[in-house]
Amino acid sequence: MKVMAQVGMVMNLDKCIGCHTCSVTCKQAWTNRAGTEYVWFNNVETRPGQGYPRRYEDQERWRGGWELNRRGRLKLKGGGRLKKLLGIFASPVQPELEDYYEPWTYDYETLTDAPLGDDFPVARPKSLITGKDTKVEWSANWDDNLGGAAEMGHLDPVVERIRKESEERIKFEFEQTFMFYLPRICEHCLNPSCMASCPSGAIYKRAEDGIVLVDQDRCRGWRQCVTGCPYKKIYFNHKTGKAEKCTFCYPRIEVGIPTVCSETCVGRLRYIGIFLYDADRVTAAASIEDEKLLYQAQLDLMLDPNDPEVVAAARGEGIPEDWLDAARRSPVYNLAKVYKVALPLHPEYRTMPMVWYVPPLSPVVDLLSEQGHDAEDAGNLFGAIESLRIPVEYLAELFTAGDTGIVTGVLRKLAAMRSFMRGISLGNDPDDSIPEAVGMESEAMYEMYRLMAIAKYNERYVIPKAHVEQAHNLEEMGCSLDFDEGPGMYPSEPFGEASGRPTPVAVENFYALKQRQTSGGQAEPGELRGRVNLLNWDGRGVPRGLFPESQDTPQMAPDSPAHGGGTAGPGPDYGPPVAEGPDGSPAEGRQGREP
Amino acid sequence: MDILLWGVLPYVMAAILVGGSIWRYKYDQFGWTTRSSQLYESRLLRIGSPVFHFGLLAVIAGHFFGLVIPKSWTEAVGMSQDFYHFNALFVGGIAGVCTLGGIIILVYRRRRTGPVFMATTKNDKLMYVVLVAAIVFGLWTTLASVFLGGHGHNYRETVAPWFRSLFIFQPDIAAMASAPLSFHLHTLIGMLLFMIWPFTRLVHAFTAPLHYLFRPYIIYRSRDVRRGPGSREQHPGWQPVGTRDRQRK
């Protein structure tokens, strides 16, 4: 047994309202550069729908993921090593820009520059690829909210498959339409096929937290990963000629704060935590012949962080104590393995994806209330789940390789939770028969309710900080160039407030703030480094630059910005201030002192 | 003049090729890529690119045979001059035509497909001119010997000995100087191509991913704690000078 830690995510689809805030904030943070206009590390798809890029789930066409060869061993669906190398000069099945969309902007300048005339000037769409006028015909969420479903609904590969299996009934019931949203990021798989496809070996999985990254210095632009990833979550930056993908916001995760998509999710539907898994058994689990057993195999890989044997093995592998502690409190482990309500997306691709989904119950509930039933009565709900075969079959194609039994089980648990908690809210005695009907204890069901319905910030996100010698110094990095003598470094901001060194995005993070608010004494030296939100300032310790320096305090560091106003103090790159010696230490200036 | 062209220039070329590649590899890993334009256009690329690249691989193999292996060796294994010559012209001719055909398709595609043309840099254009010229003159030397003068010029008695002599630092200038003009031109353009090689997108050839055949599928790598995220390794010669307290931890 080789225990490894993996940062995982669970999304509760019941809560997703399809607002695309995650996509937009992610794009602003990561892919608003030239060459990545069409790149959405996070996108939200309406299902049924074609997804992004269009029909990416049709693996007979796109050849992503793994399959078993005749001897029952894993093999890339796109072909073996030699075949990949021979096809390197023109990737055989790479999606083209038209499978994504041609990104565009608008000619806004005309609005102000147009000469006086009878007509209102218009801002015409301009292609960001050719720079010429373009006709906007598709985008990353063109079929949002079933837009065009009547004409294009059949193009959803999942619908296609279900219809093939049971022609008449599905067709009829599909007309009654249901829909839900599916936010997608990179799955950070345990058995990533993008990595296996990369000829250069530029894609790697971080040993500490399992985040899958592309080494931009090693990527040579062979494009095989784009084919290899069945989720089509590796994108080719057409300006730099390198592959790019979702980074799980690793600079944020390293300092213990959630990804941008999670942080900004208005529905608070995302959970981030640690899985412990057995790395030795991944290949065997991914090689199980029956696709429907892959979910269970993946679940079996996840190790119980309370099992002393697992803990001992984890310590043996050098996993630090606070990571083990985080694993014990992990919301994702609880949702996936303890309550068993989170399911992996397309386990049949055999990549062991680590972003899990709680399937949506809402279409069922909505339908019941529309028909005049009591939508939260346990009996009604259970019955409805059984009879509403379409969503369950559709969901099963997405999450369990077609095994409707598992999805029904999950939906029954969610329904039971609603009924059980409604009884309590109405002041009745807890009805233990409801949890029992789905094989759960009352206490467990209440805990599940806490996690899923109340969903407190610090219960949704249990993210241990990365461990390095200067872990306390690891704050969110502003910019990679932002070190002494680096091109991003200026001695002081010569061109006004916003010029010069960038300030970290999250000035004070949740944990730092909480730690300071709950600690008894003065702020630790160096804790009030950087920009301090005065609304949060509680008088313990003095943010640097808030008051004029008095004569007897040591001089400010010669390299620090010369202006006051509490802006942009020395950032995290300066090394730990406490470690400095008495030789005109720049740390002195930033230490907290008595007001 | 001959000394300059065939005695000095090859070494200048080699120095630029080797030195330039090392420099580029050390300082421009991020720019070291194929800069594929398949995202923009795939139909023509799928024909042109494999034809060009496989043709080129055959051409390289042919050059290796012709230049590196001495005439006496092939004769020792009983290969007659006529047989060798026929092979070289026939196989080499096909490979050369494929390469030229492939690059014509690719250049046509590059010119006629809007997005691909937009993504073409000046550097690319210069590279294409030199590359096409090298191929055209190379093909000319081959075809000329077929259509013009019977057996044509036997480069294995002029160019090849000169090429081999370069490696022992005693260039056989006289041998090369006696070769016909077409060979001179082809060699000169070839040297020019190798001189600009490290500074163009052609560098991707040096990182042909043959190790893919042998590496494990799944790669684990530890988080690098020494550097800030995204920043390059600092090179000893370029370490910024600073007082102790200003140095990065």
Per-residue pLDDT tens digits of chain A, which is 595 residues long = 999 999 999 999 999 999 999 999 999 999 998 889 999 999 999 988 899 999 999 999 999 999 999 999 999 999 999 999 999 999 989 999 999 999 999 999 999 999 999 989 999 999 998 888 999 999 998 989 888 777 777 788 888 887 777 665 555 455 566 788 999 999 999 999 999 999 999 999 999 999 999 999 899 999 999 999 999 999 999 989 999 999 999 988 988 889 999 999 999 999 999 999 999 999 999 999 999 999 999 999 999 999 999 999 999 999 999 999 999 999 999 999 999 999 999 999 999 999 999 999 876 777 677 777 777 777 777 777 766 655 788 899 999 999 989 998 999 999 999 999 999 999 999 999 999 999 999 999 999 999 999 999 999 999 998 875 444 444 444 444 444 444 444 344 444 444 444 444 444 556 666 666 676 666 555 555 556 667 767 777 777 677 777 665 554 444 444 443 333 334 344 334 443 334 433 433 334 443 3
3-state SS assignment for residue A277: strand
**How far is CA A433 from each of CA A407, A419, A476, rounded to the nearest angstrom?**
21, 11, 48
Give the count of domains, chain A: 1
A388, part of any domain: no
A277 - beta bridge partners?
A4, A302
B102, part of any domain: yes
A499, part of any domain: yes
Which range of residues forms the domain containing residue A564? 479-595
Which range of residues forms the domain containing residue B149? 2-222
A160: which residues sit within 8 A by CB, 6+ positions away? A58, A154
What was the pLDDT predicted at B141? Answer: 86
A109, part of any domain: no
Angle among Cα A122, A123, A125 to the nearest 5 degrees reads: 130
CA A312, A318, A320, A323 torsion-angle sign: negative
CA A234, A237, A243, A249 torsion-angle sign: negative
A586, part of any domain: yes
Q: Please tell me what DSSP assigns to residue B66.
A: I
For residue B175, which of B13, B10, B2 has the smallest C-alpha distance? B2
C-beta atoms of A201 and B247 within 8 A:
no
CA nearest to B247 within chain A: A484
B241, part of any domain: no
**Interface with B, mutate which of A3, A81, A88, A89 (most B CBs under 10 A):** A89
Confirm if A215 and A202 have CB atoms less than 8 A apart. yes
For residue A543, give how far its alpha carbon lies from the nearest alpha carbon of chain B (Å).
Answer: 22
User: Could you give the CA distance from residue A306 to residue B103 in angstroms, rounded to a whole number?
Assistant: 62
- CA dihedral of B177, B182, B188, B193, whole degrees rounded to 10: -150
One-letter amino acid for residue B96 of the chain: G
One-letter amino acid for residue B213 of the chain: L
A289, part of any domain: no
CA nearest to B46 within chain A: A90
A578 part of contact set with chain B, CB < 8 Å = no
**C-alpha neighbours within 13 Å on the C-beta side of residue A371:** 12
Which residues on B lie below 8 Å from A238 (Cβ)?
37, 39-40, 119
What was the pLDDT predicted at A521? Answer: 63
For residue A238, give how far its alpha carbon lies from the nearest alpha carbon of chain B (Å).
Answer: 7
What was the pLDDT predicted at B44? Answer: 94
Q: What is the 3-state secondary structure (H, E, C) of A3-43?
A: EEEEEEEEEEHHHCCCCCHHHHHHHHHHCCCCCCCCCCCCE
Which residues on B lie below 8 Å from A200 (Cβ)?
207, 209, 212
Which member of B118, B207, B246 has the closest CB to residue A484?
B246
**How far is CA A481 from each of CA A60, A466, A488, A500, A536, rounded to the nearest angstrom?**
44, 21, 5, 11, 30
B228, part of any domain: no
- With a cut of 50, which residues of chain B have pLDDT below it? 227-232, 234-249
Q: Is A377 left (phi over 0), alpha (psi -120 to 50) or beta?
A: beta
User: Could you give the CA distance from residue B136 to residue A381 in angstroms, rounded to a whole number?
Assistant: 76
A494, part of any domain: yes
Q: Which two tokens stand for residue A15?
A: 């809560």
Q: Are strands A104-106 and A203-206 parallel, antiparallel or unpaired?
A: unpaired
What was the pLDDT predicted at B14? Answer: 96
- CA dihedral of A545, A547, A550, A554, whole degrees rounded to 10: -30
**Interface with A, mutate which of B26, B29, B33 (most A CBs under 10 A):** B33
Give the count of domains, chain B: 1
A486, part of any domain: yes
Peptide bond before residue A344 is cis, with ω within 30 degrees of 0: no
Q: What is the 3-state secondary structure (H, E, C) of A352-411?
A: CCCEEEECCCHHHHHHHHHCCCCCCCHHHHHHHHHHCHHHHHHHHHHHCCCCHHHHHHHH
CATH of the domain at B178: 1.20.950.20
Task: Identify the helix (H) or strand (E) that includes residue B74.
Answer: helix B71-76
A523, part of any domain: yes
A9 - beta bridge partners?
A272, A355
Which residues on B lie below 8 Å from A91 (Cβ)?
36, 38
B68, part of any domain: yes
3-state SS assignment for residue B164: helix
C-beta atoms of B220 and A207 within 8 A:
yes
For residue A575, give how far its alpha carbon lies from the nearest alpha carbon of chain B (Å).
Answer: 5
Q: Which two tokens stand for residue A153?
A: 């609904």
What was the pLDDT predicted at A36? Answer: 92
